[in-house]
């Protein structure tokens, strides 16, 4: 185990009487980086987080968080982590401020220290106005923000966020992302689980895809998307005789794959690698060739695509699709 | 930002929380008790319920049925039932305490506490402090109303206070029974029903409202060994409200104080140990 690895798990397994939730999870998160754990419901994301946050004991394997064993030194781990579960773990009947002060006192910041820290964080998380209202009057987004604020009272080294934006509207989601980014900028190591590919893409340095209690792929978001196929550009031309020119224009992008031509639909499609940059080049090339387009569509790979692709590959090949590269952050 | 600077920056901040010994433990417990007292201030329903229930029984039985009740010896019925009414405070509290624990387990707050460097027992003990406060307030109200309608202790202030001490010990023990129920059952609706059952069975199968000899013969041993009977008899004797023969016969009737002490200690030990065990397990799955 490397000293700058903030979260390390080796062969983590969790078996219950009736089923096995985890079949040997391996993870390594370098200090100060963000790992997105992506997976469908029931994949084992929450179980993994609960083991790493000392709430569950694994039935096999071992894990270290902030340099301490999660089973044998759980108290030391607890002094260094913050956890936000799937449901905002705040007291509905207390005000936002009272919630913060209570947890501050439990972290032994003292009454005055807790009050000071509470005011500071409420302000930072945009909750000052609502600070003295009971949490039961808060919106979903405010609750999540308060939940996140309570997690960082003790200035944790490692933060676990279990589906932090599930059930939030898009604007609350963006606000929460900004807060998470600012915490990461301060040096917190973050493990975040999500069902949304976009969220992992936005926040994570590396992504681990979990399915049925196993890590089926691990890598940077770009690498993962490249493997799934990335975005696909579809160009429908005005007249069938333009198809050849369109295909030639898209072939000039040098994407390493031949444009596919669909004669019945008068459509040419190609896999992209660099998103909007590729689109800009494609538009220019099509214009140079004098191709008139009647439709120009960009298809993003969905999480469904990722899973379909990865699980298919998982079954067809014994070895994982992406070699797990655990040698520190790649930036 | 590089990994190395992030790591060294983090290490400059000392990790929060810690053992801190007994002082830290007490501080955590008081902070958590404060949470429940704030709940009580925002929603005093619990206090009202725990107080109203015994008061209704006092009026229903003490006033409506007083002439139908046959108490041996020359003890006034108001004197006789006061201890039986007072133990209702402890029994009524079982349900609400259990529900409070189950709700905490359900909404993830306990996960938060558990992921912090505090002893998990402080979460439960904190709750008992505030619930004991509720019990004490409601005992005071119930006995004041009892006094207003004619109840009188006859053995002087010291023994009267000792009687309240016994009742508070009973209330505290029943709180832990409630916590055990909440951590084991977890289902709020089921707990609601069980709490009511505990209240009715334990109070009616005792000498709370009638003398044990007035119960059907086969039930008399059950009532004699019911811990509630011993608590009531001990309190009555301390208050000078006990007519001869109200407890039936046998060992518990002869040594109510000893039986009370042993039974409450046993019940408390089992409940505390069981609660802590199933609390840790409840959050572990």
**ipTM of model:** 0.81
| Structural domain span for residue B125 | 31-283
What pLDDT sits at residue B284? 52
Nearest CB among A50, A107, A186 relative to B16 is that of A107
Whole-angstrom CA distances from A327 to A323, B6, B199 are 12, 17, 62
In chain B, the residue whose alpha carbon lies closest to the alpha carbon of A73 is B117
Rounded distance between C-alpha atoms, residue A297 and residue A270, angstroms: 11
Q: Cα distance from B95 to chain A (closest Cα, Å)?
A: 20
Nearest CB among A87, A88, A107 relative to B17 is that of A107
Residue B167 in this model has a pLDDT that exceeds 90: yes
Instruction: With respect to residue B50, please indicate whether it lies within any of the assigned structural domains.
Output: yes
Which has the higher per-residue pLDDT, B31 or A323? B31
Instruction: With respect to residue B15, please indicate whether it lies within any of the assigned structural domains.
Output: no
Whole-angstrom CA distances from A273 to A226, A229, B236 are 7, 8, 86
Give the pair of three-digit tokens for residue B5: 């600077």
Residue A264 in this model has a pLDDT that exceeds 60: yes
What pLDDT sits at residue B18? 52
Spatial strand order in the sheet of A267-271? A260-262, A267-271, A232-237, A293-299
Other CB atoms within 10 Å distance of the CB of residue B267: 17
CATH architecture of A232-299: 2-Layer Sandwich (3.30)
Q: Which CATH number fits domain A5-226: 3.40.50.300, 1.10.1530.10, 3.40.50.10490, 3.40.50.720?
A: 3.40.50.300
What letter would DSSP give residue A134?
Answer: B
pLDDT band at B127 (very low <50, low <70, confident <90, very high): very high
Distance of CA B91 to the CA centre of its chain: 6
Residue A215 in this model has a pLDDT that exceeds 70: yes
The two most distant CA atoms of chain A are separated, in Å, by: 78
Element (H, E) at B181: helix B156-185
What pLDDT sits at residue A81? 93
Instruction: Give the residue numbers in B contacting A (CB under 8 Å), as ranges.
Output: 1-7, 9-10, 13, 15-20, 24, 27-28, 31-32, 34-35, 38-39, 42-43, 107-109, 111-118, 283-285
Give the pair of three-digit tokens for residue B44: 């005093």
For A:187-226, CB contacts with B below 8 A are 187-189
Which has the higher per-residue pLDDT, A278 or B236? B236
Convert the pLDDT of each residue in B137-152 to its tens digit: 999 999 999 999 889 9
What letter would DSSP give residue A242?
Answer: G
- % residues pLDDT > 70 (chain B): 90
Q: Given an 8 Å threshold on Cβ–Cβ distance, is A157 in contact with B2?
A: no
Give the pair of three-digit tokens for residue B269: 């030990």
Give the pair of three-digit tokens for residue B13: 């901040």
What pLDDT sits at residue A67? 92
The domain total for chain B is: 1
Residue A328 in this model has a pLDDT that exceeds 50: no
Instruction: With respect to residue B123, please indicate whether it lies within any of the assigned structural domains.
Output: yes
Best of B6, B34, B113 to disrupt the A interface by mutation (most A CBs within 10 Å)? B6
Best of A32, A137, A149, A191 to disrupt the B interface by mutation (most B CBs within 10 Å)? A32
What pLDDT sits at residue B59? 86
Q: Given an 8 Å threshold on Cβ–Cβ distance, is B284 in contact with A55?
A: yes
A191-218 b/e (C-beta count within 10 Å ≥ 16 → b): bbbbbebebbbbbbbbbbbbbbbbbbbb
What pLDDT sits at residue A195? 83
Instruction: With respect to residue B92, please indicate whether it lies within any of the assigned structural domains.
Output: yes
Residue B266 in this model has a pLDDT that exceeds 90: yes
Rounded distance between C-alpha atoms, residue B18 and residue B124, angstroms: 19
HEC readout, A142-180: HHHHHHHHHHCCCCCCEEEEECCCCCCCHHHHHHHHHHH
Convert the pLDDT of each residue in A88-126 to its tens digit: 789 999 999 999 999 999 998 989 999 999 999 999 999
Question: Beta partners for A299?
Answer: A232
Other CB atoms within 10 Å distance of the CB of residue B190: 13
In this structure, which long-range contacts are made by residues B51-55, counting pairs with CB atoms below 8 Å and at least 24 apart in sequence?
B51/B89, B51/B137, B51/B138, B51/B141, B51/B142, B53/B88, B53/B92, B53/B199, B54/B85, B54/B86, B54/B88, B54/B89, B54/B92, B54/B138, B54/B142, B55/B141, B55/B142, B55/B145
Instruction: With respect to residue B8, please indicate whether it lies within any of the assigned structural domains.
Output: no
What pLDDT sits at residue A308? 64
Report the length, in residues, of chain A. Answer: 331
pTM: 0.78
Q: Given an 8 Å threshold on Cβ–Cβ distance, is B108 in contact with A108?
A: no
Nearest CB among A31, A105, A150 relative to B31 is that of A105
**Token pair 């909750």 in the structure block, residue:** A127
Residues of chain A with CATH 3.40.50.300: 5-226
Residues of chain A with CATH 3.30.70: 232-299
Contact A165, A157 (CB under 8 A): no
Spatial CB neighbours of B228, under 8 Å, sequence gap ≥ 6: B87, B91, B202, B203, B206, B208
Q: Tell me the H-state helices in B186-255.
A: 188-204, 220-225, 227-239, 251-254
Residue A316 in this model has a pLDDT that exceeds 70: no
Give the pair of three-digit tokens for residue A276: 């909007």
What pLDDT sits at residue B16? 56
pLDDT band at A314 (very low <50, low <70, confident <90, very high): low
Residue A60 in this model has a pLDDT that exceeds 60: yes
Residue B285 in this model has a pLDDT that exceeds 70: no
Rounded distance between C-alpha atoms, residue A38 and residue A218, angstroms: 10
């Amino acid at each position: 185990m490397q000293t700058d690895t903030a979260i390390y798990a080796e062969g983590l397994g969790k078996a219950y009487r009736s089923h096995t939730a985890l079949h040997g999870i391996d993870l390594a998160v370098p200090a100060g980086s963000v790992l997105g754990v992506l997976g469908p419901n029931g994949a084992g994301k929450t179980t993994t987080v609960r083991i790493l946050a000392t709430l569950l004991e694994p039935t096999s394997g071992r894990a270290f968080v902030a340099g301490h064993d999660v089973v044998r030194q759980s108290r030391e781990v607890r002094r260094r982590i913050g956890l936000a579960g799937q449901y905002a773990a705040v007291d509905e009947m207390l005000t936002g401020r009272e919630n913060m002060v209570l947890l501050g006192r439990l972290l032994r910041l003292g009454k005055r220290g807790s009050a000071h820290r509470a005011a500071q964080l409420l302000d930072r998380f945009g909750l000052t106005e609502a600070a003295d209202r009971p949490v039961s009057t808060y919106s979903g987004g405010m609750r999540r923000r308060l939940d996140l604020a309570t997690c960082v009272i003790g200035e944790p080294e490692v933060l676990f966020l279990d589906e932090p934006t599930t059930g939030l509207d898009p604007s609350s989601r963006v606000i929460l992302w900004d807060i998470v980014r600012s915490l990461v900028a301060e040096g917190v190591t973050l493990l975040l689980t999500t069902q949304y590919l976009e969220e992992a893409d936005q926040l994570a340095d590396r992504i681990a895809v979990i399915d049925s209690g196993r890590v089926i792929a691990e890598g940077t978001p770009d690498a993962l998307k490249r493997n799934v196929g990335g975005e696909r550009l579809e160009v429908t031309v005005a007249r069938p005789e333009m198809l050849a020119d369109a295909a030639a224009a898209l072939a000039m992008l040098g994407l390493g794959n031949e444009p596919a031509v669909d004669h019945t639909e008068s459509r040419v499609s190609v896999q992209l690698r660099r998103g909007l940059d590729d689109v800009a080049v494609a538009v220019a090339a099509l214009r140079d060739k004098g191709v008139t387009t009647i439709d120009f569509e960009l298809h993003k790979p969905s999480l469904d695509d990722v899973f379909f692709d990865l699980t298919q590959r998982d079954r067809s090949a014994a070895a994982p699709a992406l070699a797990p590269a655990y040698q520190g952050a790649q930036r | 930002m590089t990994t190395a600077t992030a790591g060294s920056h983090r290490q400059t901040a000392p990790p929060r929380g810690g053992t801190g010994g007994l002082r830290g433990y007490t501080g955590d417990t008081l902070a958590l008790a404060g949470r429940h007292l704030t709940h009580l201030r925002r929603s005093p329903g619990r206090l009202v319920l725990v107080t109203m229930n015994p008061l209704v029984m006092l009026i229903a039985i003490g006033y409506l049925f007083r002439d139908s009740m046959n108490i041996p010896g020359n003890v006034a019925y108001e004197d006789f039932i006061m201890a039986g009414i007072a133990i209702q405070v402890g029994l009524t509290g079982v349900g609400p305490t259990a529900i409070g624990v189950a709700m905490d387990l359900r909404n993830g707050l306990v996960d938060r506490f558990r992921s912090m460097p505090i002893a998990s027992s402080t979460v439960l003990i904190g709750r008992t402090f505030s619930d004991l406060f509720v019990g004490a307030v409601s005992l005071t109200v119930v006995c004041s109303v009892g006094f207003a309608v004619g109840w009188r202790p006859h053995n002087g202030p010291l023994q009267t206070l000792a009687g309240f001490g016994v009742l508070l010990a009973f209330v505290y023990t029943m709180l832990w029974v409630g916590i055990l129920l909440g951590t084991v059952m977890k289902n709020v609706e089921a707990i609601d029903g069980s709490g009511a059952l505990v209240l009715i069975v334990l109070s009616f199968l005792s000498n709370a409202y009638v003398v044990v000899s007035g119960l059907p013969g086969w039930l008399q041993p059950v009532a004699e060994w019911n811990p509630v009977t011993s608590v009531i008899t001990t309190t009555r004797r301390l208050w000078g409200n006990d007519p001869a023969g109200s407890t039936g016969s046998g060992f518990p009737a002869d040594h109510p104080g000893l039986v009370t002490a042993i039974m409450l200690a046993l019940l408390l030990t089992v409940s505390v140990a069981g609660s802590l065990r199933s609390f840790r397990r409840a959050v572990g799955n």
